[in-house]
Amino acid sequence: MFCDVAIVGAGPYGLAAASHLRQIKGLDVSIFGEPMRFWRTAMPSGMLLRSAWSASHIADPNATLTLDAYKVSSGNHLAAPIALECFVDYGLWYQRAAVPDADTGKVCRVEPHSGSFNSHLRMAPR
């Protein structure tokens, strides 16, 4: 499979990058990783985000996938400070809306090849 841009990691920054880059006509962008995995598995249970509400939105090119939009859409009663579980749910909501085709295969190696790169994937278990 060929793509112009491969994003490794489907956390908030990877999702935001994919969402923005996909606005460029003709640019083929792929994103690899299990959405919000690090936040779901490596953050302490019960954690609260330290960032302000205005700094906790995942960037999207149209500014429509904000925490405020998520709060309205989900009926979730979010409040600051934002609980980890709520941020993860927000990230998954964002991913479904902006990058629904994230490939959950794990990139295990990237190698240079003829002026570009080859990425080797380990497929996610089904």
Q: What's 55's domain CATH number?
A: 3.50.50.60
Q: Is the pLDDT of residue 87 over 90?
A: yes
CA atoms of 122 and 48, how far apart (whole Å): 33
Distance from C-alpha of 40 to C-alpha of 53, rounded to nearest angstrom: 20
Range of the domain at 49: 5-122
Predicted pLDDT of residue 124? 55
- DSSP letter for each residue of 86-102: HHHHHHHHHHHHH-TT-
For residues 56-81, average pLDDT: 93
- pLDDT band, residue 105 (cuts 50/70/90): confident
In this model, does residue 117 exceed pLDDT 80? no
Q: Count how many domains the chain has.
A: 1
pTM: 0.87
Looking only at Cα atoms, what is the longest distance across the chain?
52
